Chains A and B, each alone.
Chain A
């Protein structure tokens, strides 16, 4: 990796009363990345973003932006700009004045402000609303104003705090595409804070999953989904079935374990397992069949379908497998019969151990 544009080093933020909102976090973010801070509410992701912007100061640690430690530089002197969750568009200014504000207060000449504001509005497709006041605009339009207002400053890093949470579902999808497109056009680093895993997975090039103030894992979306480091990440990103397993033996990379739900099987892992482990398997990697599935490697067990939830393209089946409820995702690939799975059916469930993952803690 080349020299990171932002290097967060051992940042800790302790609030009054000794609560650590952010606990010894270190992250390097490269030029041009679309980076997501993902986690449940209260995990410290917003506090971390605010420390990058300068609106909050850390208790200890360094925030190096463009090669310079800026942990205690006030926000107006940092090369970062933020898109706020409430958009924070100035209500008494027109769209044009809002976008030009950051240039005006820093003494950019008037004619340069004019062209840069026009370009920025063009970029977010708002030129036709330049003279409007924010109270005559929709939430989506106000968000574009907030975006243009931040981008017109040409920051090294654009910070986005839950930018899509206040939009309705359809608009949110459009805006996701739009943000990705914008990031590619302007070529600056985006850091987005979100609690929505779909948002992070679909937009970000890399994601830091945070839990209780600490980083649980930093990886690309596919890595996070297929190779979660621990139970928290596996459970937080997507849906997962967790099977408690007793470890019988480990030979090299192969572990033989015994689960209550699907019995004994061997599985490969990089980790060294102790006496017990958790086997994680995604719902779409479990297969249902009426006849006993064939294949020496397959792990199989009998399943009783307890419930079927219909989602259009897929259905989620809840089945009782050896006393544990497992979630199985099936395709509705027939227009007349759907997935063919109905409540009360007795079927076989199976999976390839290569599709499962051993989690050690």
Chain B
């Protein structure tokens, strides 16, 4: 049988074919079934993997569990701080690479991308050694919250800011230099031009980069594991500890909260860079 197009069907209307729809549904199930079951069982009465009825109890228990609460607030504080600093450093690095010509620029550009490709375990160990030898591990141990998290925050900035750089650099690549010239021609200084023309242009990339840094920091396990002291447990590390001791629906509840936080952040970010705010 020769292939026949149905009336009204365009050349790329593959989505109407049943097997494609089936594949699409299967992929969705494969991707999201584990997450959905995690959320569903966070409302389960029983600890077993069998549904016994709806309850909010796991959430109440997790909220009242001082360890989980401390770990979650640590994680959020670390993610917050590291997002701010990696966004600033990442954007500055991107601007430098975009704007200036200097010796060994290509080498520098390569080095900036290195933390993205270096295995996390290597980075974790090197940071552990660095913090130990410089005495920073000792020095920050007994400081009050959030200063006791400094080492982890430093580590997180170190591995997140290259991601911001990559995103912002890609955006700046499409910048029309005549906009900058027009701004100066109209009487603006370098700084005014930066503030009123270049930053608004970078904004979508800044938001995307910040979001990336936030989620990277929030769920990082390996590097955090190596750079955290005894009293500074983050949420992923805490969950790992709890899972070793047995299944508890509190973990599901706390994880669900984390999912909601990241989803909300993503939605806000998408809203912020909605149509009309990007511009070309």
Contacts and interface: CB of A to CB of B under 8 A. Distances in A.
The answer to whether A and B belong to the same complex is yes
Interface of A: 53-55, 74-76, 80-82, 84-86, 88, 90-92, 101-102, 105-106, 133-135, 146, 149-150, 153
A134 B201 CA distance: 14
Contacts of A149: 182, 186
B174 to A, nearest CB: 11
A56 to B, nearest CB: 10
Dominant secondary structure of chain B at its interface with chain A: helix
Contacts of A54: 184-185
B279 A134 contact: yes
Contacts of A55: 181, 184-185
Query: Considering residues B176, B178, B182, B203, which has the most beta carbons from chain A within 10 angstroms of its beta carbon?
Result: B182
A84 B279 contact: no
Contact of B280 (A74, A80, A91, A150): A91
Interface stretch (B24-32, B152-160, B188-196, B239-247): B188-196
Nearest to B279: A91
Contact of A92 (B184, B186, B279): B279
Interface residues on B, range: 20 to 34
Interface in B187-229: 187-189, 192, 196-197, 200-201, 203
Contacts of A106: 187
A74 B192 CA distance: 14
A90 B185 CA distance: 13
A296 B196 CA distance: 73
Interface in B100-147: none
A75 B279 contact: no
Contacts of B179: 88, 90-91
Given A133-B276, A135-B280, A105 B178 contact: no
8 contacts: A76-B184, A88-B181, A91-B179, A91-B201, A91-B279, A92-B277, A105-B186, A149-B186
Nearest to B201: A92
Contacts of A81: 185-186
Given A92-B200, A105-B192, A105-B196, A75 B280 contact: no
B176 A75 contact: no
Given A86-B178, A92-B200, 16 more contacts: A55-B184, A76-B188, A81-B185, A81-B186, A82-B185, A85-B178, A88-B181, A88-B182, A90-B183, A90-B197, A92-B279, A105-B189, A135-B279, A149-B182, A153-B186, A153-B187
A47 B133 CA distance: 57
A164 B187 CA distance: 24
A70 B279 CA distance: 35
Contacts of B189: 76, 105
Nearest to A92: B200
Contacts of A82: 181-182, 185
Contacts of B279: 91-92, 133-135
A76 B196 contact: no
Contacts of A74: 184
A142 to B, nearest CB: 12
Contacts of B188: 76, 101-102, 105
Query: Considering residues B178, B185, B188, B196, which has the most beta carbons from chain A within 10 angstroms of its beta carbon?
Result: B185
Contact of A84 (B181, B192, B196): B181
Nearest to A106: B187
A101 B183 contact: yes
Question: Which 7 pairs show the lowest CB-CB distances between chains A and B?
Answer: A91-B279, A102-B186, A88-B182, A88-B178, A105-B188, A106-B187, A92-B200
A54 B182 CA distance: 11
Contacts of A85: 178
A314 to B, nearest CB: 39
A150 B277 CA distance: 24
Contacts of B203: 92
Contacts of B192: 105
A189 to B, nearest CB: 16
Nearest to B195: A105
A102 B187 contact: yes
Nearest to A105: B188
B93 to A, nearest CB: 23
Contacts of A80: 185
A247 to B, nearest CB: 51
B197 A75 contact: no
B176 A86 contact: yes
A105 B182 contact: no
Contact of A75 (B184, B276, B277): B184
A74 B186 CA distance: 11
Contacts of A53: 185
A90 B279 CA distance: 9
A77 to B, nearest CB: 8
Nearest to A91: B279
Nearest to B182: A88
A91 B203 CA distance: 13
A70 to B, nearest CB: 13
A185 B279 CA distance: 34
Nearest to B178: A88
A102 B169 CA distance: 28
A102 B276 CA distance: 22
Contacts of B201: 91-92
